[in-house]
Amino acid sequence: MAVKRVDRTEPARLSREFGRVAALGVILVLAGLVGLVYTGVATLTSMFLFGWLLLVGGVVGLLHAVQARDSGFFWLGVVVAALNIAAGVVVIARPEAAAAALTMFAALLFLTGGVFRLVGSLVVRGPQFGWTLVQGAFGLLLGILVLASWPSSSKYVIGCFFSLALLFDGLGLVATGFGGRKIVGMVAERQETPTAPTESE
């Protein structure tokens, strides 16, 4: 019996990389769970992150506009960058007011989306009629509940959504990491399986 010589460094490296992905997923899951417990803190944290993203994006956009000042889109780039910078400053300075405004916007989106899904499902009555009807009713109910308790709902709605996003993203990374390590291990084990000798041997 002959054994194939396999380079074990590449599977080991891939396994470590998938392990890091899984570790990052665990961190995100823990952050999501903590955020679901402390939704108020999660709301303020997400507002600060959103404000800084707008601010940094505005500064980067302004630099790009200055570099491309000879183009016809110079003033448009300057205006968009200035709006991003101004919005970022406002969000960072007034995170509670920004959370209230975003909560109102999200509730209106839920309401309009729920109404359109309900009407569309009743008019079209396609193969996904039941599922679309449930989605529309859920969106409409969620929008009404958020609006009914606004602005106090702004203290936890954004933080809850942000924490749920972290939680599900983390679970996806954990599944990817462990699944990838399992596949790498199976491939490495198969490559190390002894092969039957050939006639020349």
d(CA 2, CA 194): 6
Contacts of 36 (CB under 8 A, 6+ apart): 42, 160, 163, 164, 167
- The Cα-based distances of 154 to 38, 39, 163, 174, 181 in angstroms read 14, 10, 14, 30, 41
Each domain of the chain, given as residue ranges in start order, spans 13-191
State the pTM of this model.
0.64
CB atoms within 10 A of CB 184: 19
- Average pLDDT score, the chain: 79
Whether the CB-CB separation of 29 and 174 falls below 8 Å is answered with yes
Q: What is the pLDDT of residues 164-177, one digit of tens each?
A: 888 888 888 888 88
pLDDT at residue 18, rounded to an integer:
80
* Cα-based angle 187, 190, 196 (whole degrees, multiple of 5): 155
Whether the CB-CB separation of 93 and 47 falls below 8 Å is answered with no
Beta bridge partners of 2: 195
pLDDT at residue 45, rounded to an integer:
85
d(CA 20, CA 151): 40
Mean pLDDT of 11-26: 81
The single-letter DSSP state of residue 160 is H
Establish how many alpha carbons lie within 13 A of residue 141's alpha carbon, considering only the half-sphere containing its beta carbon: 6
Mean pLDDT of 38-45: 84
Residues of the chain with pLDDT > 70: what percent?
84
Q: What is the pLDDT of residues 124-183, one digit of tens each?
A: 776 776 777 777 787 888 888 888 878 777 787 888 888 888 888 888 888 888 888 777
